[in-house]
Copies of this chain bind each other. A is one copy, B any other.
Amino acid sequence: MAIRAIGRIRTPFAEAAGAPIQPAYAQGIEGRVVLDEAFGSALDDLEGFERIWLIYWMDRSLPYRLRVVPYRDWRERGLFATRAPSRPNPIGLSVVRLVRREGAVLHVTDVDMLDGTPLLDIKPYVPAFDACPRSRAGWLDAGAASRERADGRFHGDSGREPRRRS
């Protein structure tokens, strides 16, 4: 299993602290997907899709821990019950809006990843496959914290993991 970057994602976010934690909190923020030229023709037919999945490698996240305090909670949760970026395989998943294609470059909005993030895959967003609007969402349904921007807890840059409530 050998992965390789097929391009880079350009965004306004040089570090995690202050960056949106999900595309849902990044509405309208512009970015670019700069695909390696060799893959350009694989973008044909993509412009008909309003949104696309970006799958990427969160190359600046800290090593994972099995239990973490996620951004939108105050207590520890099992890592796989969170979307925290520090994971055994730090693969990121974000649905962004596709504005237009220029050759091997996609102009997108709703970007929540760090600038320069290695791109692994692009998939069209298909509501019939991907949209489950009434799916129960565990601790996130039960009254989550209102945080929409990251701090440094998973990246080690400015900002720190907040103290736990006792």
A74-106 contacts to B (CB < 8 Å)? 77-83, 87-89, 91, 93, 95
Q: Are B41 and A78 in contact (CB under 8 A)?
A: yes
Q: Are A121 and B87 in contact (CB under 8 A)?
A: yes
Q: Are A135 and B127 in contact (CB under 8 A)?
A: yes
Q: How many residues of A contact B (CB 8 A)?
A: 64
1/0 contact string of A38-68 vs chain B (CB within 8 Å): 0101111111111111010101000000110
Report copies per complex: 2
* Interface residue stretch chosen among A2-10, A11-19, A149-157, A158-166: A2-10
Give the residue name and chain of the B residue nearest to A35 (CB).
Answer: B80
The answer for the CA separation of A66 and B36 in the assembled complex, in Å, is: 13
In the assembled complex, 7 residue pairs joining A and B whose CB atoms fall closer than 8 Å, in A order, are A42-B80, A43-B78, A44-B81, A46-B78, A55-B89, A55-B93, A80-B123
